[in-house]
Amino acid sequence: MNAVMQMPMEMQDQSADPLLALFERQRARAIELRRSSAAERKARIQRVLDLVLSHRDDIIAAAAQDCGKPAPEVALTEVYPVVGEAREALRNLSKWMKPKRVRTTLSMLGTQAQIRPEPRGVSLIVSPWNYPVTLSFRPLISALAAGCPVILKPSEMTPTLSALMKRMLESAFDPQDVAVIEGDASISTRLLALPFDHIFFTGSPRVGRVVMAAAAQHLTSVTLELGGKSPVIVDRDADLDKAARNLAWGKFTNCGQTCIAPDHIYVHDDVADAFIDKMQQALKRTFGNDPSAWRQSADYARIVNHHHHGRVQRLLKDALDRGARLLIGGDSDATQNYLSPSLLTDVPADAQIMEEEIFGPLLPILRFRDLEDPIRQINARPKPLALYVFARDRKRIEQVISSTSAGGTVVNHVVLHFLHPHLPFGGVNNSGLGSSHGEFGFRAFSHERSVLIEKHSTTHMLFPPYTGFVRRMIDIAIRWLT
């Protein structure tokens, strides 16, 4: 076990460990923030909003440098969600913070009860590389709304964006309120050894297990936004034009590097050929008529780095070696971390692409005859972060939803639930723990504290010594309750 974890915090030499010194400053600040007003918290959220709006061009330039993202895509996926999150909190925070009165029951006559949201305290946000700004600043806004100081650890895989976020936040916040710590996995390990009050982690299920194990050392609460293989069902009565258009957007935005991107598609055999044709048409409309020209498209991002490019390329090669058929795409250039949008069919069940989260621009298309078949296959895998259904028949849509489990589900579209401010966003089991966004994000960083105030309760009539009278009163109370 890390030496920092072995001794009580107050016995450690803070001067020898700047991370520990920072943590202790925030722990002292957390006590002050418990009494912070809605106006004070809104002022901090407004600062984040102002930062993002004033640095929009910087964010776009940094995203282009780190992973070749198109400017409109950055505006839509990195700026818009943060602006929406901030404005939702600014509109509703006063309401979220109000204590909620609880109805008095018969057994609690003579008392008043309420639930008060209070800040969990010093919070660690560990964000990933695929959407660095959105997946850092949205939980940051939730933490500030709840009244928590934050240490943010962005991914080292997008160094330009990480450095930019550090400069932005340092210009607007004292480190005792918000601090950004850059570095590799060793820095994350050191941070996870500290006794945070809450940890918000976005990343893979594999690393999520590491985070949860570290949190368990201090019984720290966690929110885990993980991933997994998000399936799609395209039923026989689906609007195929809409399905192809929406799936091409949701899958290939950010080169497929989205935790809720469609991972693989089950399409009814009656419409499979027509659907495949429409998917190819949708790709050509989006990126160019000739796949050889896709590499020149200004609207298509790149894989984040050489390591991940190689990983996705190996998934493609393994699938083809096992008998999968490439319908379109497959063009690759390792020097640019480029891999074209690729559709595959006849993918065998034992291919690695059907076992691992793809997180890249490869899309297996699988045929089915009986709707129960894809349902069985979905239920045989770990619960996904998202499940998508394209169909018109309400009974068959309900059959899919009621027979499966997923973090979220969208019917006749993809990904949009991530942008809905009034829906909880999160996974289940392997795909995550807890929820975020809007009021759900505020609650993730809050403890719901129960408060009971005694006015003129008669419960003392049930106290010992247990005389005959007291025993009769207990019997009467039990009969009232039953």
What residue segments make up the domains of the chain, in order of their start? 3-226+435-447, 231-426
| 3-state SS string for 303-330 | CCCHHHHHHHHHHHHHHHHCCCEEEECC
Q: Do domains 3-226+435-447 and 231-426 have the same CATH topology?
A: no
Question: In angstroms, rounded to a whole number, what is the distance separating the alpha carbons of residues 56 and 50?
Answer: 10
Q: What is the pairing mode between strands 332-333 and 446-454?
A: unpaired
CA distance 310 to 301: 16
CB-count burial class (<10 Å; 0-12, 13-18, 19+) for 401: middle
Supply the pLDDT for residue 14: 56
Strands 111-119 and 100-102: antiparallel
Q: What is the rounded distance in angstroms from the CA atom of residue 275 to the CA atom of residue 366?
A: 11
pLDDT number for residue 390: 98
Helices (H), 14-55: 18-33, 38-54
Q: Report percent pLDDT > 90 for the chain.
A: 90
The widest CA-to-CA distance across the chain, in whole angstroms, is: 92
* Mean pLDDT across 186-209: 96
- The confidence score (pLDDT) of residue 179 equals 98
Residue 5: predicted pLDDT: 39
**pLDDT at position 7:** 39
Sorting pLDDT into bands at 50, 70 and 90, what band is 462?
confident
- Which pLDDT band holds residue 94 (cuts at 50, 70, 90)? very high
Instruction: Indicate the pairing of strand 231-234 with strand 198-202.
Output: unpaired
Q: Are 127 and 136 in contact (CB under 8 A)?
A: yes
The CATH class of 231-426 is: alpha beta
Give the integer Cα–Cα distance in Å for 450 and 437.
Answer: 23
pLDDT average, residue stretch 206-215? 96
Determine contact, residues 254/76, Cβ cutoff 8 Å: no
CATH topology of domain 3-226+435-447: Aldehyde Dehydrogenase; Chain A, domain 1 (3.40.605)
Lowest mean pLDDT, pick from 11-15, 18-22, 224-228, 437-441: 11-15
In degrees and rounded to multiples of 5, residue 105 shows phi and psi of -95, 170
Beta bridge partners of 305: none
Identity of residue 467: T
**In the block, which residue shows the tokens 């850059």?**
182
Higher pLDDT, 292 or 351: 351
Residue 214 has pLDDT above 80, yes or no: yes
Catalytic (active-site) positions? 225, 259
pLDDT value of residue 15: 56
| pLDDT beyond 90 at 290 | no
The Cα–Cα gap between 154 and 157 comes to: 9
Residues 6+ apart with CB under 8 A from 420: 437
pLDDT exceeds 60 at position 49: yes
Phi, psi of 458 (to 5 degrees): -105, 15
Q: CB–CB of 342/279 below 8 Å?
A: no
Tokens standing for residue 197: 């009050």
Under the banding of pLDDT at 50, 70 and 90, the label for residue 262 is very high
pTM: 0.93
Residue 249 burial (C-beta neighbours within 10 Å; 0-12, 13-18, 19+) = middle
Q: Name the band, by pLDDT with cuts 50, 70 and 90, for residue 12.
A: low
Segment 380-404 shows an average pLDDT of 98
Q: Packing angle between helix 56-67 and helix 38-54, nearest 10 degrees?
A: 60
Residue 356 CB neighbours (<10 A): 16
Average pLDDT over residues 116-120: 98
Alpha carbon distances (Å) from 5 to 150, 186, 222, 383: 20, 15, 18, 33
* Average pLDDT, integer, range 113-136: 97
Average pLDDT across the chain, whole number: 94
CA–chain centroid gap for 101, Å, is: 31
pLDDT higher than threshold 80 for residue 13:
no
Residue-wise pLDDT for 135-185, tens only, equals 999 999 999 999 999 999 999 999 999 999 999 999 999 999 999 999 999
Mean pLDDT to the nearest integer, 58-87: 97
